[in-house]
Amino acid sequence: QWIYLNGEFVEKHDAKISVYDHGFLYGDGVFEGIRVYDGNVFRLKEHLDRLYDSAKSIMLVIPHTKEEMTDLVIKTLQRNKLRSAYIRLVISRGVGNLGLDPSSCAKPQIVIIAEELALFPKELYDSGLEIITVATRRNRPDVLSPKVKSLNYLNNVLVKIEASLAGVSEALMLNDQGYVAEGSADNVFIIKGKKILTPPGYIGALEGITRNAIMEIATELGYTVKEEPFTRHDVYVADEVFLTGTAAEVIAVVKVDGRVIGNGVPGKETQQLLEAFRHRVIEDGEK
Ligand code: PLP
């Protein structure tokens, strides 16, 4: 496996960065997780727009144009002879001294990893997920915007820890006011009647690329899709609940904090949206 690292391709076991890198010392950097379906990088433009916006927000200048970055992503795939893959693109502040001030970091480090996709087991899609809500809160948007996909993922890691301590594989984070924000690395949707809701960005949700694709697809299918704040109660009494993300695509939730959602099996509408999403992915590739 070949890793793109600061201008060259190196073997996985040689792909190393300095302990003085501020990404390592302070989580100072940004990243993207991107999916490749049969040679087509799904919504690469949207991912790069988000990456560059995240970088701009934290005053990190990426030393490549988006066109060059597109090229590097494609080259990484070709080098690894991958047609279906998961890509991790990481830009860290770079090597500096031990102080927080990023001005000691001369050059951002750029890492592109392309791996064979580790798909979630099919059983999970058939049975749906049992999840909980956890004590870890999403950071306030006025402190660090949830739109910034930064290397500071401690809240998200803590969500995963709380989930696995409770014996479930995923959990929902609330924001500081108790509104539902998102999962550890996925967005949440609820369906009530013909209305589909997902929390707006200001509540503390990342504007997921999969989330946006699903909002688009659901609107085309005739649903009323709204970005609207909701509480745990709204989740408990929803007809259907599902999560979206680059790796998970669309996955049904059948139990939340012990409350059975709908009939306790993945709902019809969620299935329909997952199918439509998988079609869209193929259509996008044919364009
Ligand atoms: N929320 C968080 C915190 C994430 O890290 C991710 C994953 O990127 C998502 C949501 C889902 O976003 P996307 O659909 O772009 O993968």
100 and 129 together in one domain: no
Given a cut of 80, is residue 142 above it in pLDDT?
A: no
Active site residues: 149
> What angle in degrees, to the nearest 10, is found between the helix axes of 66-79 and 44-57?
120
- Is the same domain home to 142 and 214? yes
Residues 105 and 157 in one domain: no
- The tens digit of pLDDT for each residue in 181-223 reads 999 999 999 999 989 999 999 999 999 999 999 999 999 999 9
Domain boundary among 63, 92, 115: 115
**Helical H runs in 128-243?**
154-165, 201-204, 209-220, 232-236
Residue range 90-118, pLDDT digits in tens = 999 999 999 999 999 999 999 999 999 87
Amino acid identity for residue 224 in this structure: T
The predicted complex's ipTM stands at 0.99
What does each C-alpha distance from 284 to 37, 42, 216 come to in angstroms?
A: 10, 8, 13
Question: Does the pTM of the predicted model rise above 0.80?
Answer: yes
159 and 231 within one domain: yes
Atom of ligand 1 nearest to the CA of 246: 16
For ligand 1, atom 2: residue with the closest CA? 185
C-beta of residue 283 within 8 angstroms of C-beta of residue 255 = no
Q: What does the pLDDT read at residue 179?
A: 97
CB-based contacts of 163: which residues, under 8 Å, 6+ apart? 131, 132, 134, 169, 170, 171, 184
Digit-coded pLDDT (tens) for 44-91: 999 999 999 999 999 999 999 999 999 999 999 999 999 999 999 999
pLDDT tens for 17-51 read 999 999 999 999 999 999 999 999 999 999 999 99
Report CA(187)–ligand 1 centroid distance (Å): 6
Q: What is the pLDDT of residue 259?
A: 98
The per-residue pLDDT of the chain, averaged, comes to 95
Do 164 and 225 have their domain in common?
yes
pLDDT at residue 119, rounded to an integer: 75
Are the C-beta atoms of 172 and 183 separated by less than 8 Å?
A: yes
Amino acid identity, residue 185? A
User: Does residue 287 surpass a pLDDT of 80?
Assistant: no
CATH of the domain at 187: 3.20.10.10
**Can you read off the two tokens belonging to residue 275?**
């199918």
End of a domain among 89, 115, 141?
115
Q: How far is the CA of 184 from the centre of ligand 1 (A)?
A: 8
d(CA 217, CA 199): 17
Residues 50, 164, single domain; the answer is no
With the most atoms of ligand 1 within 8 angstroms of its CB, the residue from 203, 242, 246, 274 to mutate is 246
Contacts of 115 (CB under 8 A, 6+ apart): 1, 82, 85, 86, 87, 88
Q: Is the domain of 166 the same as that of 239?
A: yes
Pick the last residue of a domain from 86, 115, 144.
115
- The answer on 266 and 152 residing in a single domain is yes
Provide the pLDDT for residue 272.
96
Q: How many separate domains does the chain show? A: 2
Is residue 52 domain-shared with residue 10, that is, in the same domain? Answer: yes
Distance in Å, CA 245 to ligand 1 centroid: 5
Residue ranges making up the domain that contains 15: 2-115
Statement to judge: residues 199 and 140 lie in one domain: yes
Q: Give distance in angstroms: CA of 12 to centre of ligand 1.
A: 25
Say if residue 219 is in the same domain as residue 96: no
What pLDDT was estimated at residue 261? 98
**58 and 134 belong to one structural domain:** no
Please give the C-alpha separations between residue 149 and each of 47, 50, 123, 184, in angstroms, as whole numbers.
Answer: 10, 8, 30, 13
Give the model's pLDDT for residue 194: 85
* Smallest CA separation from ligand 1 atom 9, residue: 186
143 pLDDT above the threshold of 80: no
One-letter amino acid of 123: E
Confidence (pLDDT) at 144: 81
pLDDT at 229: 97
Select from 6, 22, 23 the least CA-distant residue to 14: 6
> Of all residues in the chain, what percent carry a pLDDT higher than 90?
91
- Give the residue, by CA position, lying nearest to ligand 1 atom 6: 185
Retrieve residue 218's tokens: 């659901």
DSSP code, position 263: T
DSSP state at residue 32: E
